[in-house]
Amino acid sequence: MNYSRSFYFYYLPFYHLGLRTSYHVNEKLSLNYWVVNGANQSEPTNSFKDELFGYVLQPKKTLTWTTNYYLGQENSDSTSSASCPVLEQPGLCLLPIIPAPNGKTHIFDTYATWQATPKLTLQGEADCVIQRVWANAAPGRSSAPFHVDGGAVYMQYLLLPHTSLAARSEYLSDRGGLFSGTTQALKEATATYECKFGDGFDGFLEFRRDWSNRPYFQTDHPGSPSDHQDTAGVGLVWWWGGKQGAW
């Protein structure tokens, strides 16, 4: 709906490598299960296999609701080293971390899309992420979790067959700095005008405002960040090929 990406697009995992399966219980309910090497990685970094359990509910044609629970262990149990019994290229030798961090990652993710009218589409999203380095506290280490939660709402209204207006607003509470590197509450609001010039050619005009409860955004004065940031943008997207419908 918008040209710029939301906080949660960048925060939640981009990709996984593994297996996934879906079982269609009936026309209104599907169940999903994944087993993967980890979040945003292709090769495993420990012996733990991450899993996702979820469902897609479609009580009627105009409403779709997806809910997922992801359980992972994203901490590596080895580290690269140049001090190897048999010297290889630096970084290609892995030495075990003893004891290895065993904290888990829990991701609760739910989102729904409602086609309220032929011209009006509404969406909502809620997320909660808890991640620990260690499963339990011990001398010299802490198991205090990183905790990120919040959500987003979206709206798109079709003005004409080839033009639309869209809006997005979101809130992300980043306790521990897992997403942004510092504890803060991030907010943003975006308004987007879209024009479809032709098949596979879209244009966007957009204004976005980001803000936080602490100075975070870069300014033209080094060392003096601001608690807000305004962005105006023009975007052109051109694609070709046989792909139709949602990507």
Q: What is the pLDDT of residues 134-153, one digit of tens each?
A: 988 776 676 789 999 999 99
Are the CB atoms for 97 and 120 separated by under 8 Å? Answer: no
223 Cβ contact list (under 8 Å, min separation 6): none
The answer to whether residue 247 scores a pLDDT higher than 60 is: no
The model's pLDDT over 174-190, given as tens digits with 9 standing for 90+, comes to: 999 999 999 999 999 99
pLDDT tens readout for residues 2-38: 999 999 998 888 899 999 999 999 999 999 999 999 9
164 confidence band (pLDDT: 50, 70, 90): very high
Whether pTM > 0.75 for this model: the answer is yes
Give strand pairing partners of 167. Answer: 155, 191
Round to whole Å and give the CA distance between 211 and 189: 9
Task: Cite the DSSP H helix spans in the chain.
Answer: 7-11
Task: Please write the tens of the pLDDT for every residue from 39-62.
Answer: 998 988 899 999 999 999 999 999
> Sign of torsion, CA 25 57 116 165?
negative
CATH topology of domain 7-76+102-238: Porin (2.40.160)
| pLDDT, average across residues 60-89 | 84
**pLDDT value for 234:** 97
Taking alpha carbons only, the member of 185, 191, 183, 181 closest to residue 150 is 185
